[in-house]
Chains A and B, each alone.
Chain A
């Protein structure tokens, strides 16, 4: 997008100069609906009236009124063209308008010179032509600036709208990735059974589930969560899964208290833990364990989610090395995008295959954090 702004001369500029960007009807509808600023009409008109008033004494008695009226009419026409250019800011319209303006000016000059009833003397003719030529140049320049500003205005508005749409889309994708109907209904199925059988697990699971929902539902409206808040969500999620999976799941969370206020993209750790459960523990016949760690290394903050489930090897037996950055589902690519937004490109999220299981690792440079 920024490349459009670079100075480069296209051949067509010699034939039809002006901004090359042409907006589609759709783009105009989205970004070009600003009303014509009416104040310009009043401003220009009053200036012209003042100019005419100053010069009124110089004009010959005979023509003065006619001159004033025709200048005002011409001025009205110029503004009408400007309004049209505002609504349809294309360089073709600009060049056609300028061409018509030039032809009209030349026509009038010829009229003054050769139309007998006018019979202007040499000096008056010179003054008139100079005035008209000056007026023409001024009008053409005004149109030029108008159209350049207008095109830039619409372009900027379009960029702004695109940016907004992108962040809304990102948030929505995250939110939908988060609401996992299988998790909801499977949990409800278990709780239902424990309620029916008056099992004590009903109460504690429902409590953790409620806390999980209360924290996750508004999560994506926020720019960032502190590690502490995020870990609370993760803990509730694991409590629910623990109740459901029983002995098939064991887990620990080991976080450095000094990192409690570290800002993270909402749902980053939760996504990693969900992946570990969904791809590691649940598909495993024997279950497994999950360890969540948050530690400071020398110049890095490291967050890790490690599981010893079926791991990446079930999808790619022969790729034990670090997975390339493009891999992973919607959850991971979203997490990467958000992480980059928050901590810059130096922050990394990587998945490593292990035997058994998988290690997801987030590294955030420390300097960035304190900046």
Chain B
């Protein structure tokens, strides 16, 4: 965390009122806190977290796209995971397991006294030496989240449909080499060429097999079978090379943990 003076936070809830209620409560209790994003669903929450790298994330559990738990699991894998607080209307008893651990939870509508408690905990954690987050709590947190998340159903690999003039081209996901965000479109680079689709990259994330398609950058999703190597340039930058292709793709700092070497 470089020269950020103000602590940053993200709020995610698919309903406007609870989102704004939390925002107001946070502003009252922690005026210096900078709310960098108020996301309306899980997919946006993940994308906004990548874009703004907030230090705190307040995630509603039930959201379309990705649930709060799924977003938290992805966040926990990042190089510098933010502190996560779950917000829920009705307590899942399993959530109490988090209270003592790396994650806290709040009930909707958010109670000021309870929020003050939670914020005190967060402040203490942020002030603590940076050894605390990430590695030490990582695996523990992952296990807890894994318990809470419903068993992932094996995803049906539906073909990607790309329009080319009057023709609609079907591309099997296995044949895709990588996806790249391009303004309002997503570029699909596949064995047979290139195509543009309208589905935003962040939505594709929820449709594709996570084990096969790795997000290496906020705007790039790569078929892991096509990655030839990862190359560290300096402390902060890394690129990957692809089998049988010229271009190199940047790996953002957040995702460099994917390539550890063994």
A residues with a Cβ closer than 8 A to B are: 181-182, 184-186, 188-194, 196-197, 201, 244-246, 248, 282-285, 315, 317-318
Q: Which of B11-35 contact A (CB under 8 A)?
A: 14-18, 20-21, 24
B65 at the A interface (CB under 8 A) = yes
B203 at the A interface (CB under 8 A) = yes
Among B14, B15, B43, B158, chain A packs the most CB atoms within 10 A around the CB of B15
Cβ–Cβ contact A189 & B21, under 8 A: yes
B15 / chain A contacts, CB cutoff of 8 Å = 186, 189-190, 244-245
B147-158 contact mask (Cβ, 8 Å, vs A): 1 or 0: 000000100101
Cβ–Cβ contact A244 & B17, under 8 A: yes
Would you list 18 pairs from A and B whose C-beta atoms are within 8 A, ordered by A residue?
A182-B89, A185-B109, A186-B18, A186-B108, A188-B109, A189-B18, A189-B89, A191-B17, A192-B109, A193-B18, A193-B24, A196-B21, A245-B15, A248-B14, A282-B62, A282-B64, A283-B64, A285-B43
Cβ–Cβ contact A282 & B14, under 8 A: yes
Cβ–Cβ contact A193 & B109, under 8 A: yes
Cβ–Cβ contact A181 & B89, under 8 A: yes
Q: How far is the CA of A196 from the CA of B107 in the complex (A)?
A: 17
Known interface pairs A189-B18, A285-B41. Does A181 touch B90 (Cβ–Cβ under 8 Å)? yes
Q: How far is the CA of A184 from the CA of B62 in the complex (A)?
A: 14
Closest to B107 in A: A185
A28: min CB distance to chain B, Å: 40
B43 / chain A contacts, CB cutoff of 8 Å = 285
A315 / chain B contacts, CB cutoff of 8 Å = 153
**Among the listed B108, B153, B158, which residue makes an inter-chain contact with A189, where contact means beta carbons less than 8 Å apart?**
B108
Cβ–Cβ contact A284 & B109, under 8 A: no
* 10 nearest A-B pairs in the assembled complex, by CB-CB distance: A190-B17, A193-B21, A185-B89, A189-B108, A192-B109, A189-B109, A181-B90, A193-B17, A186-B89, A317-B156
Q: How far is the CA of A317 from the CA of B159 in the complex (A)?
A: 12
Closest to B20 in A: A193
A188 / chain B contacts, CB cutoff of 8 Å = 108-109
Q: How far is the CA of A197 from the CA of B25 in the complex (A)?
A: 12
Interface size bucket, B side?
20 to 34
Main secondary structure of the interface of A (DSSP, over half): helix
Closest to A281 in B: B64
Q: How far is the CA of A192 from the CA of B108 in the complex (A)?
A: 10
Q: How far is the CA of A317 from the CA of B241 in the complex (A)?
A: 35
Cβ–Cβ contact B158 & A317, under 8 A: yes
Cβ–Cβ contact A185 & B41, under 8 A: no
Cβ–Cβ contact B16 & A185, under 8 A: no
B107 / chain A contacts, CB cutoff of 8 Å = 185
B158 / chain A contacts, CB cutoff of 8 Å = 317
Cβ–Cβ contact A185 & B108, under 8 A: yes
Cβ–Cβ contact B90 & A182, under 8 A: yes
B27: min CB distance to chain A, Å: 13
B24 / chain A contacts, CB cutoff of 8 Å = 193, 196-197
Q: Which of B42-98 contact A (CB under 8 A)?
A: 43, 62, 64-65, 89-90
A190 / chain B contacts, CB cutoff of 8 Å = 15, 17-18
Q: How far is the CA of A224 from the CA of B16 in the complex (A)?
A: 37
B18: min CB distance to chain A, Å: 5
B60: min CB distance to chain A, Å: 9
Known interface pairs A182-B90, A317-B156. Does A192 touch B21 (Cβ–Cβ under 8 Å)? yes
A317 / chain B contacts, CB cutoff of 8 Å = 156, 158
B187: min CB distance to chain A, Å: 21
B66: min CB distance to chain A, Å: 10
Q: How far is the CA of A241 from the CA of B140 in the complex (A)?
A: 37
- List 19 extra interface pairs beyond A190-B15, A192-B17, A193-B17, CB under 8 A: A181-B90, A185-B107, A185-B108, A186-B18, A188-B108, A189-B21, A189-B89, A189-B108, A189-B109, A190-B17, A190-B18, A193-B21, A196-B21, A197-B20, A201-B17, A244-B17, A248-B14, A282-B62, A284-B64
A245 / chain B contacts, CB cutoff of 8 Å = 15
Q: How far is the CA of A189 from the CA of B62 in the complex (A)?
A: 14
Q: How far is the CA of A193 from the CA of B21 in the complex (A)?
A: 5
Among B16, B107, B203, chain A packs the most CB atoms within 10 A around the CB of B16
Closest to A318 in B: B156
A282 / chain B contacts, CB cutoff of 8 Å = 14, 62, 64
Among B17, B18, B24, B64, chain A packs the most CB atoms within 10 A around the CB of B17
Closest to A247 in B: B16
A318 / chain B contacts, CB cutoff of 8 Å = 156
Closest to A244 in B: B15
Closest to A317 in B: B156
A194 / chain B contacts, CB cutoff of 8 Å = 17
B112-128 contact mask (Cβ, 8 Å, vs A): 1 or 0: 00000000000000000
Q: How far is the CA of A282 from the CA of B14 in the complex (A)?
A: 9
